[in-house]
């Protein structure tokens, strides 16, 4: 009972903290989000978009029985496909639920040894850093199921072992991840790039996002999102060029901040190429250059730009 209360409390806190970027009602002007984003019982919203249920103290199962347990709650063993989510799961299990142990999740290499896939999606499990520690997976054909070990990282294990487990509800994913047109979901944020003929200097781009689209120039402060935005631009939109985003060092030369949130823009690898920023006082606004990396640029240049819709 205690654990249930803790989980419920976590659910409430997490929902209020992170019921974030892309979930609002059909009326874009109202800026309120749909109540249906809250995960169905007994799931908890983790990150912006994922409904997870973590087995309680004392409830351990082998891998198949864990999968069956999840199906009782109309879910499946979890797909932990992004590294931020892995970190949040660790925080939740260790510091909130005080659960120390191993946790089955939904990956397997049973079909083809050493070819790890999520059983639900048949997509590849990410390998290497930062998901697996060096030397793992290490079990060859004796260990064909994926778990988050008691050190927080992925490892392979024998499916007959009994461990805690993490279920995921997939039924609400659509409602959680919806961005209102014209924005589309990239990572866990809602972005929009105006048509190719719309080029603006930095300030006019910012006004275009604010006035017509109720957004602002984008804040891209994690590298996964940068990669996903780049793929979207190149492979989905087929655009080539430079794209204004919402960073600037206008207030203090060399100190890059996102103007919307007044937080530091990440510097160095893997955001900027060596040698950038290079414009000193002549280049005070942030752009994603043709090569896909951050660059400082003169704000009077007319370029493409990326708008983002924020809920907060
Ligand atoms: Ca194996
Ligand atoms: Ca192992
Ligand atoms: Ca500058
Ligand atoms: Ca530059």
Q: How far is the CA of 285 from the centre of ligand 4 (A)?
A: 9
Give the pLDDT confidence score for residue 278 in this predicted structure: 97
E-assigned strands of 22-114? 44-46, 50-54, 76-77, 103-108
Report the DSSP pairing between strands 307-309 and 189-192: antiparallel
Confidence of residue 70 (pLDDT cuts 50, 70, 90): very high
Which residue, 237, 210, 229, is CA-closest to 287?
229
Residue 38's pLDDT is: 63
Judged by its nearest atom, the ligand closest to the C-alpha of residue 257 is: 3
The predicted pLDDT at position 13 comes to 40
Using the predicted structure, report yes or no on whether residue 5 has a pLDDT greater than 60. Answer: no
Residue 190, pLDDT above cutoff 60: yes
Spell out the alpha helix ranges (H) of the chain. 2-18, 63-72, 83-91, 173-176, 202-213, 223-231
How remote is the CA of residue 250 from the centroid of ligand 2, in Å? 51
Alpha-carbon span 104 to 81, nearest angstrom: 14
Find the angle CA(266)-CA(269)-CA(270) to the nearest 5 degrees.
85
d(CA 229, CA 235): 10
pLDDT tens-digit readout, 51-62: 899 998 889 999
Whether the CB-CB separation of 213 and 184 falls below 8 Å is answered with no
- Contact 246/259 with Cβ under 8 angstroms? yes
Which ligand has an atom closest to residue 289 CA?
Answer: 4
pLDDT at 30 over 90: no
* pLDDT for res 25: 31
Q: How confident is the model at residue 165 (pLDDT cuts 50, 70, 90)?
A: very high
- What is the per-residue pLDDT for 268? 92
Nearest ligand to the CA of 154 is 2
How remote is the CA of residue 207 from the centroid of ligand 4, in Å?
23
According to the model, what pLDDT value does residue 32 have?
33
pLDDT digits (tens, 9 = 90+) for 244-287: 999 999 999 999 999 998 899 999 999 998 899 999 999 999 99
The answer to whether 262 and 218 have CB atoms below 8 angstroms apart is no
Q: Residue 171: pLDDT above 80? A: no
* Nearest ligand (C-alpha, residue 280): 3
Mean pLDDT of the chain: 85
Cα(127) to centroid of ligand 1, in Å? 13
pLDDT for residue 87 is more than 50: yes
What distance in angstroms lies between residue 295's CA and the mean position of ligand 3's atoms?
A: 10
Q: What is the pTM of this model?
A: 0.51
Q: How confident is the model at residue 177 (pLDDT cuts 50, 70, 90)?
A: low
- Residues 94-128 pLDDT 10s: 888 999 999 999 999 999 999 999 998 777 899 99
User: What is the CA(238)–ligand 4 centre distance, in A?
Assistant: 24
Does residue 214 contact residue 28 with C-beta atoms inside 8 Å?
yes
pLDDT at residue 189, rounded to an integer:
87
Q: How many A from CA of 105 to the centre of ligand 3?
A: 46
């Amino acid at each position: 009972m205690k654990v249930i209360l803790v989980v419920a409390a976590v659910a409430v806190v997490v929902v209020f903290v992170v019921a974030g970027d892309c979930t609002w009602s059909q009326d874009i002007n109202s800026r309120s989000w749909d109540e249906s984003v809250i995960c169905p019982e007994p799931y908890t919203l983790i990150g912006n978009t994922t409904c997870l249920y973590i087995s309680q103290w004392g409830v351990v199962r082998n891998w198949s029985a864990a999968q069956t347990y999840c199906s009782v709650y109309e879910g499946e063993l979890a797909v932990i496909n992004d590294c931020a989510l892995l970190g949040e799961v660790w925080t939740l299990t260790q510091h909130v639920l005080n659960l120390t142990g191993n946790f089955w999740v939904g990956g397997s290499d049973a079909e083809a040894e050493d070819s790890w896939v999520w059983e639900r999606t048949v997509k590849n499990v990410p390998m290497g850093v930062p998901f697996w520690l060096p030397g793992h997976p290490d079990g060859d054909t004796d260990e064909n199921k994926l778990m988050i070990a008691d050190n927080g990282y992925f490892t392979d294990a024998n499916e007959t072992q009994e461990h805690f487990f993490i279920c995921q509800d997939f039924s609400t994913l659509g409602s959680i991840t919806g961005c209102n047109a014209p924005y589309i979901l990239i990572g866990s944020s809602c972005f929009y790039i105006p048509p190719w003929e719309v080029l603006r200097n930095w300030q006019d781009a910012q006004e275009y996002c604010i006035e017509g689209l109720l957004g602002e120039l984008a804040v891209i402060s994690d590298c996964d999102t940068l990669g996903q935005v780049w793929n979207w631009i190149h492979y989905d939109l087929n655009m080539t060029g430079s794209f204004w985003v919402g960073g600037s060092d206008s207030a203090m030369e060399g100190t890059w901040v996102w103007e919307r949130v007044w937080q530091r823009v990440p510097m160095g690898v893997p955001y900027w190429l060596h040698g950038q920023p290079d414009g000193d006082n002549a280049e005070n606004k942030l752009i994603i250059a043709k090569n896909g990396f951050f660059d400082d640029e003169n704000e009077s240049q007319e370029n493409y730009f990326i708008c983002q819709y924020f809920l907060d």
